[in-house]
Amino acid sequence: MIPAGFEYHRPGDIASAIGILQEHGDEARVIAGGHSLIPMMKLRMAEMGHLVDLQAIDELKGIEVGSDTVTLGAMVTQHELITHDGLATAIPLIREAALQIADPQVRYMGTVGGNVANGDPGNDMPGLMQCLNASFELSGPDGKRSVAARDFYEAAYFTAREDEEILTRISIPVPGADVGQAYEKQKRKIGDYATAAAAVMVGNGTASVAMTNLADTPIWSEEAGAWLAGGNVDGCVAAMLDAIDPVADNRGPVEFKKHVAAVVLRRAIDRAQSRAG
Amino acid sequence: MSKMHVKLTVNGKQVEGLAEPRTLLIHFLREDLKITGPHIGCETSHCGACTVDIDGKSVKSCTTFVAQVNEADITTVEGLTNDDGSLGVLQEMFREHHGLQCGFCTPGMITRAHRLLQENPNPTEEDIRFGMAGNLCRCTGYQNIVKAISASADMLKAQKEAAE
């Protein structure tokens, strides 16, 4: 399994990377950890003349934990999310989810930016970021802009990011100390994508609920969150089951996925409520 | 496509070569450098037989372009022997506890276990199973692999205490 040939670029700053994307247009693609892209290149389902490796760009690195906001550089790996003490204290939900992604080797390489930018409905971080009401910073030829995670996903592999833009940082409001958080994921085996996964925050009379791999985008349901904020778990689950749109595949038929979705969501709610102050 | 100049440190030695950027690290190690410890199993980043240590991270070398790791410091199972060439602790414990049958997964298992024990010198059985979840074995049922890693942790601790 050998991919088609390409020119390799390793720019040292964001502006240079965008310059390469502008110069080569459709022929160029960025690579972060590569653990989604390289398998597709090996299958020849992705081919590009120019591969732009983001690993040398310091601006894309680092985890900053502030009192109101956490920011994650796009090139922060899942392994770094798991091992960062301050992050686990500020937003424990992120570590809990990252531990359930892929396997140890993949987590050393896989990045949070790649996970959210790829637009794969199977990825865990997009739903998580919608639950947390994160926003994504995009840098392009016309400068920077910010897009809410809840507005970013349009369809499978289609997002609000333009071809010449790079997702550079993720900003996440720190939930209050009384807010319970939980990520629950059902998967067939280690390394698999979710059959169904749920991210839940609840506490202080507020709630936020998002689910993964049950539609062609992550699903954040305002209605489900409102039911849960009011203490009505059945209403929350019913609203979410109404919002998702799973399709039959090798993880099971539609009815099964809806069943698993409800089970996973109830477990996540239970755990989040038990952690609420 | 033109070839690029690749410079790596592999098992403590500086090596150089020419490779197309699309060359996967596992192919460069095995075919150019003739370092055949890392194995090609599934080729789809699932089985872990190709695991090598790159700058302190366990990485599946079938899912890494050699271009990405240019200038990196790489350790393979060959680099985990003692200085005199005898078996290192993990290698010895895999033998002692029969942590292999056909042996195909073993280089990846040992290389991954090396990094696991560097990061967590006192792992529980659960820590070992979770930390080894990216490596598949189709022979042993994993029981003896877990025992071998646990025994290695004990031996490494004893060696460290003896040295202090």
Q: How far apart are CA A34 and CA B28, in angstroms?
A: 18
A 18-37: CB under 8 A from B: 31, 34-35
Is residue B56 domain-resident? yes
Long-range contacts, stretch A39-45, CB < 8 angstroms, 24+ apart: A39/B44, A39/B45, A39/B63, A41/A3, A41/A4, A41/B22, A42/A1, A42/A2, A42/A3, A42/B24, A42/B43, A42/B44, A43/A1, A44/A3, A44/A4
Q: How far is CA A116 from the centre of its chain?
A: 4
- pLDDT per position as a tens digit, A23-40: 999 999 999 999 999 999
Is residue B17 domain-resident? yes
Distances (CA, A) of A187 to A96, A229, A251: 15, 28, 9
Task: Determine the longest span between alpha carbons in chain A, in angstroms.
Answer: 56
Q: How far apart are CA A257 and CA A195, in angstroms?
A: 7
Chain B residues near residue A98 by CB distance under 8 angstroms: none
**Residue B143 CB coordination number (10 Å):** 11
B163 lies within 8 A of chain A by CB:
no
Q: Are A4 and A42 in contact (CB under 8 A)?
A: no
Same domain as B67, residue B107: no
Residue A4 to residue B131, Cβ atoms within 8 A:
no
Give the domain-ending residue among B79, B94, B125.
B79
Is residue B138 domain-resident? yes
Q: How far apart are CA A115 and CA B62, in angstroms?
A: 20
The CA distance from A9 to the nearest CA of chain B, in Å, is 9
A5 lies within 8 A of chain B by CB:
yes
Burial of B4 (0-12, 13-18, 19+ CB in 10 A): middle
Query: What structural domains and CATH numbers belong to chain A?
Result: 7-53 (3.30.43.10), 58-173 (3.30.465.10), 180-275 (3.30.390.50)
Q: Are B63 and B54 in contact (CB under 8 A)?
A: no
Same domain as B129, residue B97: yes
A47 lies within 8 A of chain B by CB:
no
A97 lies within 8 A of chain B by CB:
no
CATH of the domain at B144: 1.10.150.120
The CA distance from A102 to the nearest CA of chain B, in Å, is 8
Is residue B164 domain-resident? no
Residue B133 to residue A7, Cβ atoms within 8 A:
no
- What number is the average pLDDT over the span B91-106? 98
Task: Count how many domains chain B has.
Answer: 2
CATH of the domain at B52: 3.10.20.30
Same domain as B68, residue B96: no
Q: How far apart are CA A235 and CA A252, in angstroms?
A: 25
Give the domain-ending residue among B17, B47, B79.
B79
Is residue B46 domain-resident? yes
Q: Where are the beta strands (DSSP E) in chain A?
A: 7-9, 28-31, 50-53, 63-65, 69-73, 135-140, 143-148, 153-155, 158-159, 166-173, 180-187, 194-203, 206-212, 219-220
Question: Among A45, A103, A190, which would you mutate to test the B interface (most chain B Cβ atoms within 10 Å of its Cβ)?
Answer: A103
Question: Which among B20, B43, B134 has the least Cβ separation from residue A103?
Answer: B134
- The range of the structural domain enclosing residue B148 comes to 80-159
Residue A3 to residue B21, Cβ atoms within 8 A:
no
B 20-39: CB under 8 A from A: 20-22, 24, 27
The CA distance from A109 to the nearest CA of chain B, in Å, is 7
pLDDT exceeds 80 at position B50: yes
Sign of CA dihedral B33, B38, B42, B43: negative
How far apart are the two ends of chain A, measured CA to CA in Å? 52
Same domain as B115, residue B70: no
Same domain as B51, residue B96: no
pLDDT of residue B2: 86
Same domain as B136, residue B122: yes
Residue A113: strand, helix, or coil: helix
Same domain as B34, residue B11: yes
pTM of the entire predicted model: 0.97
Give the domain-ending residue among B79, B110, B140.
B79
**Residue B124 CB coordination number (10 Å):** 11
- What number is the average pLDDT over the span B98-113? 98
A105 lies within 8 A of chain B by CB:
yes
Q: Are A167 and A161 in contact (CB under 8 A)?
A: yes
pLDDT of residue A209: 98
Is residue B95 domain-resident? yes
Below-70 pLDDT ranges, chain A = none
Q: How would you classify the pairing of strands B73-75 and B4-10?
A: parallel
pLDDT of residue A56: 98
pLDDT of residue B1: 66
Among all residues of chain A, which has the CA nearest to that of B63? A38
pLDDT of residue A145: 98
